[in-house]
Amino acid sequence: MPIVEGATYRPPFGLGEGHLQTIFPALFRRVALVTPERERIETPDGDFLDLDWSRGSRGGRLVVISHGLEGDSRNACVQGMAAAFKRAGWDVLAWNLRGCSGETNRLLRSYHSGATDDLATVLEHVPPQYTQIALVGFSLGGNITLKYLGDAGTAVSPRISAAVTFSVPCDLASSALALETAANRIYMAHFFGSMRQKVRVKMSMFPDAVSDKGLDAMRTFREFDGAYTAPMNGFASADDYWQRASSRSVLHRIAVPTLLVSAANDPFLPEQCLPKEEAQASNAFYFENPRSGGHVGFVSFNATNEYWSETRAVAFVEAV
């Protein structure tokens, strides 16, 4: 029954509220670049992925980090996690989802919550010298990580030893609905700012397939995913995309030790995204539900600038 009881996270004084935890790192956290070595690899369908590396530990251990919606490999949460694993003696690979590295991808398709084929391409590229691979994913990248592991089940590569994910919308439909509330408008405005730009770039590349008609009036993921994410990535509708890409339906198949940490005060995640029953029934999937932490927050103040989530991730993968 791997529900982790007695979560140890305690927020700093005055930063316990969910929105504060969510916004504070985005506005104020600064982390030095830990993964400066960029490598471009080709995908089987003729596109490319940009990977950022930190190597040199010589220990045969590698952590692969997946970022969240409209993020990239150089976000503070990714680099903070990279720094924590580097201090623990791991090499780091932080990869950019399609179109997120600063250069638009070649094909019509985009990144999305179910893009497990791209994670598979990254893992297949990892050199054989790495005999122990840990996966870490944030939010959308966490859903990709969990979906990849659930789809693979017991056939997952023996090199993958553990995984840790944070603030995962593992039920995409309920999370999309939660983000439509008035309290979350600030986040939607942020996401839509960059998403609209990416649509218009794709429209310039594929004018017969992409139109920006009605784009400026869109305010919800149902509208955006129905008009763009679904048709550009082979789904019939927003509902079809959410159902097929959500990781919750395959959590019971995960076969390597995997931890999902989601805060009880995460403004993006309703009860449907807190998979307690799956954890209770599993021998490999662990769920931890701290009272505070917001969405990819878990702010901590200390001499190393290491957040609680980073300490927790390293501790979990090294313990298992």
DSSP bridge partners of 65: 94, 136
Taken as a whole, the chain contains a residue count of 320
Residue 1: count other Cβ atoms within 10 Å of its Cβ.
9
Among the listed residues 112, 171, 225, 295, the single catalytic one is: 295
Query: Which amino acid, residue 238?
Result: A
Burial class (CB in 10 A: 0-12, 13-18, 19+), 79: buried
Nearest one of 85, 87, 108 to 98, comparing CA atoms: 108
The question of whether 151 is a catalytic residue gets the answer: no
The question of whether 266 is a catalytic residue gets the answer: yes
- Residues 6 or more apart whose CB falls under 8 angstroms from that of 174 comprise 270, 271, 272, 273
| Dihedral angle of Cα 4, 63, 116, 76, to the nearest 10 degrees | 80
C-alpha 8/C-alpha 308 separation (Å) is: 9
C-alpha 33/C-alpha 152 separation (Å) is: 32
The question of whether 295 is a catalytic residue gets the answer: yes
Among the listed residues 266, 282, 300, 309, the single catalytic one is: 266
DSSP bridge partners of 66: 95, 137
Residue 75: count other Cβ atoms within 10 Å of its Cβ.
22
Active-site residue list: 139, 266, 295
